[in-house]
Homo-oligomer: A and B are copies of this chain.
Amino acid sequence: MGVLERKEREKEQRRQDILDAALTVFARKGMDQATMDDVAEAAELSKATLYLYFSGKEEMYFALHLRGQEIFYRMVARPGKTVGSFNEKFLAYLNTLVAFQQKYPDYFEASFHFLTRGISLEKNHVLVKQHNENNRLFMNLWIALIQEGKGVGIIREELDEVTAAIVFWMQFTGFLKIYPALKNNIKKQYGFSNQELVQKFFDLIQFGLFKK
């Protein structure tokens, strides 16, 4: 391996170390309260070094959101998830979203942050391009699943799959965001378990409130 390759590898390693430190800081203090000084301290680097890698905490947080996207994509697209009946695949997809949110709450929060506040990096930024590409992959997975469901006569054929994919994804992301704060209260007040609540959500997504 040449000198240039080694330097590139070391640079990427340092970038990932900074992101690890940033993740810890953001998880502890929240994105709004965290400062570049906090991240520098956690990374044991000078603030000047941080700025060689990132324009600021917004860009760091966005890079963490991309990490989350990539973890999620590997979870949802792995071969074992793409076999089985349509209903099995549909539930596997939903359960993967729940599992991702429970296993990686900090990456979920980073993604929700940009989903609700918008992205402040310029449009042609390398990270924004990566984000758009990841989004396209997710949507294509879900659109293909809806198309398959139409093909086997399970999904209503009058639904436009792109629209349905977007709306469903907004509903479910919102549900997941609210879920952790409410599940214990709901359990106490109404007596049904977390698993029951998620199941009821799946039922409502599948069949809606109205008779056909």
If over half of A's interface residues share one DSSP class (helix, strand or loop), that class is named, otherwise mixed; here it is: helix
Contact across chains for B174 and A173 when beta carbons are under 8 A apart? yes
Interface residues in chain A, defined as those with a beta carbon under 8 Å from any beta carbon in chain B: 30, 32-33, 115-118, 146, 149, 153-156, 159-160, 162-164, 166-168, 170-182, 186, 190, 192, 196-197, 200-201, 204-212
Contact across chains for B206 and A209 when beta carbons are under 8 A apart? yes
How distant is the Cα of A211 from the Cα of B156 in the complex, in angstroms? 5
Contact across chains for A211 and B212 when beta carbons are under 8 A apart? yes
Q: Which residues of B contact A174 (CB under 8 A)?
A: 170-178
15 pairs from A and B in contact (CB 8 Å cutoff): A32-B32, A116-B177, A149-B209, A156-B207, A156-B208, A156-B211, A163-B200, A167-B204, A171-B172, A171-B174, A174-B175, A174-B176, A174-B177, A206-B208, A212-B212
- Contacts A173-B178, A208-B208 known; list 13 others, CB within 8 Å: A32-B32, A32-B33, A115-B178, A153-B211, A155-B211, A156-B207, A167-B175, A167-B197, A167-B200, A170-B178, A174-B176, A177-B177, A207-B210
